[in-house]
Amino acid sequence: MDEKKYLECEKYYVFLLLIFVAGFYGGFTISVKGGSFANAQTVNIALLGIAIGTRKFSSALSIFLSIGAYFIGTIISEQAAWLISKKRLLRWDTILVFLDMLVITTLAIAPIHTPALIYSITINFLCAMQFNTFRSAEGIGMATIFITNHVRQTGSFFTRWMRKPYEKTYLKKWTRHGGMVVSFCLGAAFCSLLGLKFHTKVLLFADIPLFIIFINLLRADLTTERLLLGKRVPSGH
């Protein structure tokens, strides 16, 4: 498919910026507030099992709440996308990015003594909705909140490209996945660096890439993709 035929929410730059923000979130919850990784649930499930096994039930409850927030975020994003598509006013993708900015700004200006669990639960919730909403970048399946699969895909398609360097599809895929890995790492690095000075207010910097995405998605919804609202969904859905 020609790149011009992809929806704005499927453009690769959107995914690059979103995974940069995800890296920012990861850097925040690990190095600034909480000491945990809120983007994905593999570690949380393992920690829940460990907490139960060692009878640390208060810790188990906190972890369970974070997992529950992720679960609820997935349900809400699925239902919201379906309901909003019927209105044909804006895409859920656009509304979600706006909600991200609103919630992240609220967290950034929250009192300094706000419990780390609040940040963890909220970011888990946001990441779940983002993961469930943005699924494919210009025909390539991609996640925007963690990079395990991107590392695998980078290695896999790089190997195939080395065997068949004339295959441009392999070159495109390994560089696209590799770009996601680099962007995530940069997001975590910037947050960790800036967090030393700004602490929880560092989250305000995440609003910058989110604002860029929001403006472009909103413009597309109101102009070039207006007639596609409710008729065409992003690939992967």
Q: What is this structure's pTM?
A: 0.92
Q: What is the pLDDT of residue 112?
A: 86
Radius of gyration of the chain (CA): 19
Please tell me the distance from the alpha carbon of residue 184 to that of residue 27, in angstroms, as a whole number. Answer: 10
Q: What is the pLDDT of residue 88?
A: 87
Query: Whose CA is closest to 14, among 227, 205, 210?
Result: 210
Q: What is the pLDDT of residue 4?
A: 56
Low-confidence ranges of the chain (pLDDT < 70): 1-4, 34-35
Q: What is the pLDDT of residue 183?
A: 98
